[in-house]
Amino acid sequence: MISMSKEHKSYLYILSAAILWGTTGTVLYFAPLDTSPFSVGIMRITAGTFFFIIINFLNKNSSNFTVLSSRKNILLAGLSLAFYQPFFFFAVKKSGVAVGTAVSITSAPVFAGLIKLIFVKKTPEKKWFAATLLSIIGCLLLFSNSEININLSGILLALGAGLSYSLFSLFNKKQSGNNSPLTSISYIFLTASLLYLPLFFIFDFSWAYSSSGLPIVLFLGLITASLPFFLYTKGLEYSSAETSVTLTIAEPLTATLLGVFLLKEKLNLLTGLGLFLLLLGFMIIFINKDSLKRYFHI
């Protein structure tokens, strides 16, 4: 019988979150034509916050913060999550979907590893370097068939998105031992949503209340926001921040497969190689000598 360690369970939580995040692009394919990507990002987090409020109201076991110092990390994680949305969506607007997405996603694990090395004075595991390198190459190959538009400001914005996401993961990880995953991510989302309030008076969100837009908002809020971010936060309990961020590169893998099977997009040789390298990178994270001995008694 195969048993699974808490560490490996955490990897599955994070991969599940990334797979759910990967459905975002496919869902937006069915969104109203006048929908701006930036307003989608705002509505996604806001709708997710409402779901968390409802869940916490119904959850009798929900608790307040148990350690005062965790509130600082909750606030910083919320700020990082809030900044990620404008950085990412304006990066996509400036440099296109391929470059904006590739740079933001592949830079995030690099930033997470560098921050740990410089500020925490700890070197990431050796397998993280190999898995991250393979995952980054694989991710870049997924976008190799897309139109490339090199724009300096767009790339800087994408790097800002990658840095914001890595900081969100690091601060979320830092407070993970003080609160339950549900409590943590609920307050992180609430912080981000409060920062977004003034934007509702600046940008047009009328599409979100239309008959075709409301189902999209509900799906984004539940399936691409509250559920995956809860799973990701739960996974951070027993996974390092840099490994967690590397595993989230499964998001473009999911988006690619959905594009092939649902939207009838073509899969070429380079894209197929990219998928293979991504899977190989994830296998390196999951598999090591100790786990093989424990699982298969060798």
| Whether 282 contacts 131, CB under 8 Å | yes
Rounded Cα distance, 94 and 6, in Å: 41
Instruction: Give the pLDDT of residue 68.
Output: 52
Rounded Cα distance, 222 and 219, in Å: 5
Rounded Cα distance, 57 and 50, in Å: 11
Q: Confidence class of residue 169 from pLDDT cuts 50, 70 and 90?
A: very high
Nearest residue to 144 via CA among 225, 256, 296, 20: 256
pLDDT tens, position by position, 136-158: 999 999 887 766 667 889 899 99
Instruction: Give the pLDDT of residue 291.
Output: 54
Instruction: Give the pLDDT of residue 224.
Output: 94
Rounded Cα distance, 92 and 157, in Å: 9
Inform me whether the pLDDT recorded for 111 exceeds 50: yes
* Helices and strands in the chain: count of H runs, count of E runs: 13, 0
Rounded Cα distance, 28 and 22, in Å: 11
Q: Confidence class of residue 292 from pLDDT cuts 50, 70 and 90?
A: very low
Instruction: Give the pLDDT of residue 288.
Output: 61
Placement of tokens 């991250």 in the chain: 132
Nearest residue to 172 via CA among 158, 159, 160, 183: 183
Q: Confidence class of residue 295 from pLDDT cuts 50, 70 and 90?
A: very low
Inform me whether the pLDDT recorded for 179 exceeds 50: yes
The least confident of 57-66, 67-76, 230-239 is 57-66
Instruction: Give the pLDDT of residue 60.
Output: 67
Whole-number Cα distances in Å, 107 to 28, 54, 132, 159, 212: 24, 34, 10, 6, 35
* 3 state SS of 150: coil
Reported pTM:
0.90
What is the pLDDT averaged over residues 105-116? 93
Rounded Cα distance, 30 and 25, in Å: 9
* Side chain identity at residue 73, one-letter code: N
Rounded Cα distance, 88 and 86, in Å: 5
